[in-house]
Amino acid sequence: MDERLLITVVMSPPALQHDSDGDACITIESAIGSETVVLNIESGVTDSGTVTNSKPGSTNMADAVRKARDAFNRGVTKPVEWRRKQLKALKRLYEENRQAMVDALRQDLRRSKTEAILLEVDYLINDLSNTIHCLDEWIKPERPSKGFVNLLDDVVIHNDPYGVVLVIGAWNYPLQLLLLPMTGAIAAGNAVIVKPSEVAVACNKFIVETLPKYLDSDAVVVVEGGPQETTELLKEKFDYIFYTGSTSVGKIVYEAATKNLTPVTLELGGKSPVYIDNTVDIVVTAKRILWGKFINVGQTCIAPDYILCTKEVQAKFVEASKKVLKEWYGEDPQKSPDLCRIINLRHFTRLQAILDNSKDKIAVGGKYDAQDKYIEPTILVDVSPTDKAMEDEIFGPILPIVPIENAYEAIKFINEREKPLVSYVFTENKKALENFVKNTTSGGMCINDTVMHMSVETLPFGGVGYSGMGAYHGKATFDTFTHKKSCLVKNFAVIGEKLASNRYPPYSDSKLNFVMALMRKRHTPSLKFLPYLVAFAFGAGLTYGIVAWNKITSEDL
């Protein structure tokens, strides 16, 4: 008898469940013979496709949160010296375990060394180096401008840590998407509970075993486990929650957070569109789109999900893509060392169903191998909005092209759907570009390239609507985990009290008029051109002096 089971389950929140991105957070019971076992669907799916029992997390969730809370309440995490020590230790972890990180990513996703280093290891190191360098500046109290009524007072915004924050990572970039927000949380002075994805088994093991060796394990607590443990974890009270994953599970995390009015950042996903017009260099455009799509074989939240273009551009794009893909991956892409693999068989089956449903629309690729969890980079043409490929975020190496007539139709198509995490526009037409910027909404935009906006640390990264809320990267990560505490500092100076005493009873019209005059907004002329005026005046004066001196000298001669 085949011991593998096909089980259909209908459950409602707050139990976590499967989604198109591979998040799974439900626990079910199944009777096998005379025994009852608990099956955690995502964590229990093995490479062979069988379902196994979930291994419970080694840490009690309530105890882990209490441990972190105690560290924060004792003031362990607030001193800048502690923060800097932790960040430097984390950098040492990256540098001393570079190969171990590359190996873990290869085990989980068959990630090439180049992609592992560029997209995760060095990405983390560079972000951390910037955080260490800027930490003293970031933590300084801010002093905003103040009105006339507060001229004698001190107006300050203090950068306070929230307290105990929870960071839940994702399996597609299992190191970067967990450790980068964790870095910002530490820099901001929080105690942190980190929950790596159990789906990326090797990276989960690396984090669980390595992080406590370098960081203060009282204030940075690693918890492991599957969906059952995550559900238990979300029952605890946190001061901030940072979640990366799918929209469906994001809703459940958000629901859990609202019970304690906990603020959240949700980094989700969606179907990120690409528009191409006939003004672009089609070969360069193909390279940039295909690279963004096929890194990590499309298992990237900001991967181009589908293309909108005319049939004329579609034909040119397909021809250019055939040449580019052959150049990159050879005659048989399955043998290329530069192509990752699908994370597990459940995801492979989901993607296979899209291909099987679109056999008549495959223009490039289309091959797959279940045993190897391999799906060839594939381009679909003449795709209809009702096709299976357009139902949900693809999250794999399949790129549909939906023909449209013009930019107006493309904008309408995008606006009829949920707001994407990112919109990609390829055009040299400034008016068309302006229309996309002004008339579409997305978490971010990248013009004439894909994915590369992630490398600009001064650009906050985040979604909008169904693609998420909140943002991070660079200083935005620090700000995400920082409460901006506004503070007005009054003094007891006689002049200030004399002016302010008009607010006290007994009231009168004269007092009211005086207070209104103090509070009236006054907009003084902008001083931004003052340095230029000073420089001009100095230059003019110097020139006049030189001319006068020359005149006097010539008269003496």
Nearest of 436, 437, 442, 440 to residue 466 by alpha carbon: 442
Q: How many domains does the chain have?
A: 2
8-state DSSP, 126: H
**Residue at a domain's end among 466, 485, 518:** 466
Mean pLDDT, range 489-518, rounded to an integer: 88
AA letter at 33:
G
* Residue 296 CA from chain centroid, whole number: 16
In a domain, 73, yes or no: yes
**284 and 253 belong to one structural domain:** no
**Same domain membership, residue 229 and residue 102:** yes
Annotated catalytic residue: which of 301, 309, 340, 446?
Answer: 301
pLDDT, position 7: 30
* 262 and 281 inside one domain: no
Domain, as residue range, for 210: 61-268
Write the pLDDT tens digit of every residue in 431-445. 999 999 999 999 999
- CATH number of the domain that 215 lies in? 3.40.605.10
Tell whether 102 and 231 lie within a shared domain.
yes
Q: For 159-172, how does the pLDDT look when each residue is reduced to its tens digit (9 = 90+)? A: 999 999 999 999 99
42 is catalytic: no
> Looking at the predicted structure, is the pLDDT value of residue 10 above 70?
no
Picking from 239, 268, 297, the residue at the C-terminal end of a domain is: 268
Burial code (b: 16+ CB inside 10 Å, e: under 16) for 452-472 equals ebbeebeebbbbbbbbbbbbb
351 shares its domain with 230: no
The Cα-based distances of 389 to 292, 398, 506 in angstroms read: 18, 8, 73
Tell me which of 213, 246, 268 is where a domain ends: 268
337 and 355 inside one domain: yes
Instruction: Quote the DSSP letter at residue 53.
Output: B
User: 225 and 297: one domain?
Assistant: no
Residue 126 domain flag: yes
Model confidence at 153, in pLDDT bands (50, 70, 90)?
Answer: confident
Flag whether pLDDT at 40 surpasses 70.
Answer: no
For residue 350, give every residue at least 6 positions away whose Cβ sits within 8 Å of its Cβ, in sequence order, or none: 20, 396
Q: How confident is the model at residue 59 (pLDDT cuts 50, 70, 90)?
A: low
Instruction: Say whether both 288 and 253 belong to one domain.
Output: no
Tokens of 364: 């490039």
Q: Is the pLDDT of residue 134 over 90?
A: yes
Q: Which of 31-40, 302-311, 313-322, 493-502 has the lowest mean pLDDT?
A: 31-40
**Which amino acid is located at 521 in the chain?**
K
pTM: 0.84
Question: Is residue 363 domain-shared with residue 406, that is, in the same domain?
Answer: yes
- 340 is known as an active-site residue: no
Q: State whether 115 and 155 are in the same domain.
A: yes
CATH number assigned to the domain comprising residue 391: 3.40.309.10
Catalytic residue among 224, 229, 267, 393: 267
Model confidence at 343: pLDDT above 90: yes
